[in-house]
């Protein structure tokens, strides 16, 4: 087991944002995390990566307890996340942005090595032609791509992708799906994907976990989950 969430619970004051959620991610697996808005999906990401502290439960990475560690330590260990609203380093170039990622795995003065690693990632994600452009000036699709490239540069073992395809046109969505498939195939990185675009997530995921009001209400293969009545109810509403 690469990543294991054991009965994690998070309160915001009196509100149980995450209610005793269990989840397991294996190496090289693609897990889709879906649920209505406000179900707690991003909160789970924040809890895994140390941006929020758990109230109950444990997060185990490679069988070691990482609950309570700081976000930068968790990235060092191999868990990297992207943000729902992309956070580029605006006044740096695209290449410099990705270099910030690749610097994690090199020493202080190995600038050229970091640069070459970054260029490699840019070519892989299709951003190489824009490498000297200022990150501020990128389109939304390219920003999302940059966010992905930057986290890839940290050589993670597992990537937590928060709505990487939100706001993209269908053609752009297909490009991202193809890219993600390549990532898993070529580097065996596990992916946990939060997404609302059902077609994309169902086509790519090995298994899907469904959240509603902070609780896991279903888990299984894409086809199993899409037929689950409580999942359908969660999305289409209750009487």
Residues 176 and 203 sit within 8 Å (Cβ to Cβ): no
For another protein, the closer CB: 39 or 118: 118
Q: Give the total of residues touching another protein (CB under 8 A).
A: 34
| 28/158 Cα distance (integer angstroms) | 8
Q: Give whichever of 1 and 111 is closer to another protein, judged by the CB atom.
A: 111
CA distances from 106 to 48, 94, 110, 123 (A): 25, 19, 6, 20
Residue 71 binds to another protein (criterion: CB under 8 A): yes
Evaluated on CA atoms 66, 39, 51, 8, the torsion sign reads: negative
Q: Which of 43, 151, 164, 205 binds another protein (CB under 8 A)?
A: 151
Please report, as residue ranges, which positions from 11 to 30 form the binding site for another protein (by CB under 8 A).
Answer: none
Residue 84 makes contact with another protein by CB under 8 A: no
99 contacts another protein (rule: CB under 8 A): yes
Q: Residue 164: helix, strand or coil by DSSP?
A: coil
Residue of 68, 90, 126, 167 that binds another protein (CB under 8 A): 90
Report the residue from 29, 154, 164, 205 that binds another protein according to the rule CB under 8 A.
154
Q: Which of residues 196-225 bind another protein (CB under 8 A)?
A: none
Name the strand (E) or helix (H) holding 211.
Answer: strand 207-212
Pick from 32, 35, 40, 101: which binds another protein (CB under 8 A)? 101
Q: Does 52 bind another protein (CB under 8 A)?
A: no
Nearest to 175 by CA among 190, 197, 194: 197
Stretch that binds another protein, among 16-24, 147-155, 184-192, 222-230 (CB under 8 A): 147-155
| Minimum CB distance to another protein smaller for 118 or for 176 | 118
Count of CB atoms situated within 10 Å of the CB of 85: 10
> If DSSP codes are grouped into helix, strand and coil, which group holds residue 123?
helix
109-126 per-residue burial string, b: 16 or more CB within 10 A, e: under 16 = eeeeebbebbbebbebbe
Residues that bind another protein (CB under 8 A): 49, 51, 70-73, 75-76, 80-83, 87-92, 96, 99-101, 103-104, 106-111, 114, 150-151, 154
């Amino acid at each position: 087991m690469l990543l294991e969430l054991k009965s994690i619970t998070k309160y915001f004051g009196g509100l149980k944002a995450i209610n005793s959620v269990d989840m397991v991610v294996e190496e090289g697996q693609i897990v889709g995390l879906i649920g209505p808005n406000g179900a707690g999906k991003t909160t789970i990401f924040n809890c895994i990566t140390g941006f929020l502290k758990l109230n109950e439960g444990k997060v185990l990475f490679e069988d070691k307890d990482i609950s309570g560690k700081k976000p930068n330590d968790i990235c060092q260990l191999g868990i990297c996340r992207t943000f729902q609203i992309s956070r580029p380093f605006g006044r740096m170039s695209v290449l410099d942005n990705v270099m910030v990622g690749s610097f994690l795995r090199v020493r202080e003065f190995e600038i050229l090595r970091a640069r070459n690693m970054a260029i490699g990632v840019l070519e892989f994600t299709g951003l190489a032609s824009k490498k000297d452009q200022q990150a501020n000036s990128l389109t939304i699709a390219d920003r999302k791509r940059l966010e992905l490239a930057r986290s890839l540069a940290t050589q993670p073992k597992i990537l937590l992708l928060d709505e990487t395809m939100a706001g993209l046109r269908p053609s752009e969505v297909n490009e991202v799906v193809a890219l993600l498939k390549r990532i898993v195939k070529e580097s065996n990185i596990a992916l946990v994907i939060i997404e609302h675009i059902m077609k994309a997530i169902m086509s790519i995921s090995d298994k899907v976990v469904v959240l509603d009001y902070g609780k896991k209400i279903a888990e299984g293969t894409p086809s199993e989950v899409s037929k689950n009545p409580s999942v359908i109810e969660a999305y289409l509403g209750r009487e």
